[in-house]
Structure 1
Amino acid sequence: MIQQYTVAERFMRYVQIDTQSDPQSNTQPSTEKQKDLSRLLVQELLDMGISDAHLDAYGYVYATVPATSSKQVPVVCFCSHVDTAPDCSGSGVKPILHKHFDGSDIVLPDDPAQVISIKEHPYLAQRIGDDIITASGTTLLGADDKAGVAIIMDLAYQLMQQPQIKHGAIRILFTPDEEIGRGVDKVDMAKLGAYAGYTLDGGPRGYFTDENFSADGATIVINGISAHPGYAKGALVNAMKVAGTLLDLLPKHAFSPETTGGREGFVHPVHVEGVAEKVTLQFIVRDFEEAKLKEHEARLEAIAKEAVAQYPGATYTFTVKEQYRNMKEKLVNYPAVAAYVQLAMQRAGIAFEKHSARGGTDGARLSFMGLPCPDIFTGEMAFHGKHEYVSVQDMQKSVDTLIELVQVWEEKAV
């Protein structure tokens, strides 16, 4: 059905635009440079003939591929985020296309110490023969989530070029700031007007994610007692030492992201700031089950109490803020949303694999905002670092899946 894919060319163009988000910024979007890519996407959509494509003040791109079916097909949304993670530089990305990957180590030319190997990245063994795109060794690539952006853009292009493909109205949403947890803060759900959605932000070919971690943020404030160090005997209580003791009391071989996997949750310190009188520690708390979040938080507070008890005069406060919840709680009420993807992958010749994500996506929050929104694979791998890569053929297979998926929705409509 597809004469020529455009996804790889689009992807290599998009990753060269720096769209890194900034968790320390209070603006929306957190960085204006995210709009540089968003403006390009709007222009490309307009050039395809999608007349309502636009960028709003908050950095969201909205667009509609018009229906080609006379049926009353539910409106489906496809969503990806334009920002890249703050973890690694996204400035000056130089994408490199390695055609017909033969399984050999990929040495990144701008830093030969950066080597992408099958040993370190086993999924590459399944992609021998594919065309692999990497960065050059000094930056991340940005496949998370510009692979998803490019896939949706190619879908829109293919549908606009081939009106004989029957489908309902397709809504496109590109978001900023997903990597810092603000991706859907300002989404206009009424304007979006979709019945169901799918994020394009997953990994290996065939992966479908309808479950993710539930997440809270926990903040512990340690209050010490300040005193002149020359006259501090019996008076000074150093909050930094209390904080150090607290961190040291955390389990060394459990309870943390570096020691857990599968369906195990964890508590992870992400930021410490303060002086002798007062220290603030920020943690993220993760588990698939909300009840276990509460258990993890109770355990963390017990550790805080134990640490503070070793320093008479020190006090603490412990607060928890909800971040997002497991999308499965909502998706169980919409079985067709997953079933249609499975059928679409079958038609595209792809083995369907349902997985749970040890993280969160825009789709998790959208699901709790009234838009059931699981995640579909893009091929993006080793994200947030210099070894990030993506298979061109994986991206193409994702485009195939979406083309089949919009037709399934049309066929199932009354």
Structure 2
Amino acid sequence: MISKEHIINRFVSYITIDTESDPESLTTPSTEKQWNLAHKLVEELKAIGMLDVSIDDNAYIMATLPSNVDYDVPTVGFISHFDTSPDFTGAHINPQIIEKYNGKDIILNQEKNIILSPDYFEDLLQYKGQTLITTDGTTLLGADDKAGICEIISAMEYLINHPEIKHGTIRVGFTPDEEIGRGAHKFNVEKFGAAWAYTMDGSQIGELEYENFNAASAVVKIKGRSVHPGYAKGKLVNSMYFATEFINSLPRLETPEHTEEYQGFFHLHTIKGDVEETVLQYIIRDHDKGHFEARKEMMQKLTEELNSQYEEDIISIEIKDQYYNMQEKIEPVMHIVDIAEEAMKQIGITPLIKAIRGGTDGSQLSYMGLPCPNIFAGGHNFHGRYEYVPVESMIKATELICKIAELTAIQYKA
């Protein structure tokens, strides 16, 4: 039995270390503070008895649990990221432990009247009677994806301490900068040496995902001309007005707050501007590759059409692909999904097989030659003050890793 107290203590020791990544940085990792947790994880992997523990110049961590069977089993990997999202502060996290959650409102911050309520976050009611870890309302929690790291290390520790559970060689990997889309960029797939892997980076218990968005970023720059407003007639060009026209020309209902399941979107996440220049930063998402390409083309054509109307090139756009739907790479090796699904059933979890409305390191790794479905880590409401994780979900995720390792060995036994 995996100790609840042990899981809580390990998880809290990770989340209280600030590892927020920075999309503006050109280094890897993007923030120096990510090294603080990276070095701690290296020492912890060594302390529990993992072998071949390594950390490279970019803070990518790898380690091995050797096989304890006398026949060939494919090497399986488990991967998580240790950075947290720059969308909300991850500094000075003060977690709250809610024992035997009663299904009612949780006061995160009395002074600021910040409440985590099942009236708004209905998923809370699934965890009535369980132990929840929440924020204090002023930071994110970091369950994305320090819960995944906690589960992987705890599973490796459990397997080391219980050699009666038979398994093949297992590789673990921890990455920086996943939250800014770079988690897999410098991951050495050949060095990792696994036949396939699983990212422990999903949300609620039971999630098993092998489809994700195709993703691109778009930076739109609108140039203006500043003139003294008292003498501006016929001369001043206010870039912010033209930016508004660009924004309003895209489909208003094709945004994150109006879409679900397989529906794609355009998401304007940053505006910075004044009269002289306004910069819009978008992300473009769609599960369907054809629709994805059409969305990029729509933004490109809108830029050209508006410039034509203005009779000068006021607007420029730069679109960059970020990652693609892993489904194409997973479907030829669906047995790796089947193993995870069967493992869930054997430990009493109902599998929730669905498409990710986002991406993980696994989507990029799959295209780099490492098929890599995504499994729940247990957290909810990522990237904000209402993030929480049920401890029982982390325990089940830990058990699931052990069961996947065990079933893989059984499946390949002669």
Common fold by TM > 0.5: yes
1:338 aligns to what SS in structure 2?
A: helix
The answer to whether structure 1 residue 143 and structure 2 residue 162 are counterparts is: no
Q: CA RMSD in A?
A: 1.9
- C-alpha displacement of 1:291: 0.6
Deviations 1:58-111 (A, max 9, x none): 011111111111121111110011011111111111112111111121111464
Letter in 1 for 2:191: K
Please tell me whether the aligned partners of residues 242 and 311 of structure 1 are also in contact (alpha carbons under 8 angstroms). no
Residue-pair matches, total: 412
Within 2, Cα distance between the matches of 1:342 and 1:398?
13
CA distance in 1, matches of 2:183, 2:173: 11
Quote the residue 1:11 is aligned against: 11
In the TM superposition, residue 231 of structure 1 has moved relative to its aligned partner by 5.8
Q: Which residue of 2 aligns with 1:360?
A: 359
Contact (CA 8 Å) 1:215, 1:323: kept in 2 or not?
yes
Alignment-mate amino acid for residue 93 of structure 1: I
Whether the aligned pair in 2 keeps the contact of 1:224 and 1:314 (CA below 8 Å) is no
Correspondence 1:162 to 2:169? no
Inter-partner Cα distance in structure 2 for 1:108 and 1:235: 52
Partners of 1:237 and 1:314 within 8 A in 2: no
User: Does 1:346 find its partner at 2:330?
Assistant: no
What is the CA-CA distance between 1:128 and the residue it aligns to? 0.7
Q: Distance in 2 between matches of 1:89 and 1:28?
A: 20
Distance 1:106 1:269 in 2: 31
SS of the residue aligned with 1:333? helix
- 8 Å CA contact 1:249, 1:307 repeated in 2: no
Cα displacement string for residues 175-210 of structure 1 (whole angstroms, at most 9, x for unaligned residues): 111111111111111111111000001111111011
Which residue matches 1:256?
255
Kept after mapping to 2: 8 A contact 1:19/1:82: yes
Whether the 8 Å contact between 1:205 and 1:378 is mirrored in structure 2 is yes
Partner of 2:200: 200
Measured in 2, the distance between the counterparts of 1:106 and 1:316 equals 47
1:268 alignment counterpart: 267
SS of alignment partner, residue 215 of structure 2:
strand
2:242 and 2:381 map into 1 onto residues whose CA distance is 36
Contact 1:239 1:314 in 2 (8 A): no
Match for residue 152 of structure 1? 152
SS at the partner of 1:357?
coil
Secondary structure, counterpart of 1:171 in structure 2:
strand
Task: Compute the TM-score of the two structures, normalised by the length of structure 1.
Answer: 0.94
Give the Å deviation of 1:387: 1.0
Q: Is the Cα–Cα contact under 8 Å of residues 362 and 372 in structure 2 kept in the other structure?
A: yes
Contact 1:29 1:59 (C-alpha < 8 Å) held by counterparts = yes
SS at match of 2:157: helix
Residue 277 of structure 1: CA displacement? 4.6
Question: Structure 1, residues 228-264: CA drift from partner, whole Å, max 9, x if none?
Answer: 7666544443333322221233333x11111111211
Aligned to 1:392: 391
* Map 1:24-63 → 2, pairs under 5 A: 24-63=24-63
User: Deviation per CA, 1:252-279, whole angstroms, max 9, x where unpaired?
Assistant: 3x11111111211111123334554544
C-alpha distance 150-79 of structure 1, shift in aligned 2 (>3 A)? same
How far apart, in 2, do the equivalents of 1:11 and 1:347 lie?
25
How far, CA to CA, are the matches of 1:22 and 1:319 in structure 2?
20
SS of residue in 1 equivalent to 2:174: strand
In 1, the alpha carbon distance for the partners of 2:331 and 2:391 equals 32
The answer for the alignment partner of 1:289 in structure 2 is 288
Q: 1:150 to 1:3 in 2, by over 3 A?
A: closer
Aligned-partner Cα distance in 1 for 2:81–2:334: 25
SS in structure 2 of the partner of residue 313 of structure 1? coil
Q: Secondary structure at the match of 1:283?
A: strand
State the partner residue of 2:115.
Answer: 115
Q: Is the 8 A contact 2:303 2:316 kept in 1?
A: no
Which aligned pairs between 1:159-198 and structure 2 lie closer than 5 A?
159-198=159-198
CA gap 1:180/1:20 in 2 versus in 1, 3 angstroms: same
Aligned pair in 2 of structure 1 residues 176, 231: CA closer, same or farther (>3 Å)? Answer: same
Contact 2:79 2:200 in 1 (8 A): yes
Match of 1:369 in 2: 368
Identical amino acids, percent of aligned pairs? 40
Deviates most, 224-233 or 59-68 = 224-233
Q: Which residue of 2 aligns with 1:210?
A: 210
- Output the CA distance in 1 between the equivalents of 2:89 and 2:276: 35
- What are the Cα deviations for residues 379-404 of structure 1, in whole angstroms up to 9, with x where unaligned? 10011111111111111111111111
Q: CA deviation at 1:306?
A: 4.6
Give runs of aligned pairs for residues 46-85 of structure 1, distance below 5 A.
46-85=46-85
Give the drift of 1:222.
Answer: 3.0
> 2 CA distance for matches of 1:29 and 1:112?
34
SS at match of 1:133: strand
| Structure 1 residue 214: Cα displacement | 0.5
Give the superposition deviation at 1:283.
1.6
Structure-1 residue corresponding to 2:104: 104
Quick one: distance in 2 between partners of 1:347 and 1:177? Answer: 34
Q: Is the 8 A contact 1:7 1:153 kept in 2?
A: no
| Length-normalised TM-score, structure 2 | 0.94
SS at 2:210 equivalent = strand
Gaps of 5+ in 1: none
Q: Does structure 2 retain, via aligned residues, the 8 Å contact 1:20–1:84?
A: yes
- Over residues 99-134 of structure 1, what are the superposed CA-to-partner deviations in whole Å (9 max), with x where a residue is unaligned? 111112111146451111211111111111111111
Letter in 2 for 1:393: E
Q: Which amino acid aligns with 2:373?
A: P
**Deviations, residues 336-391 of structure 1 (Å, cap 9, x unaligned):** 11000111011111111101111010010011100110111111001111111111
Aligned residue for 2:354, secondary structure, equals strand
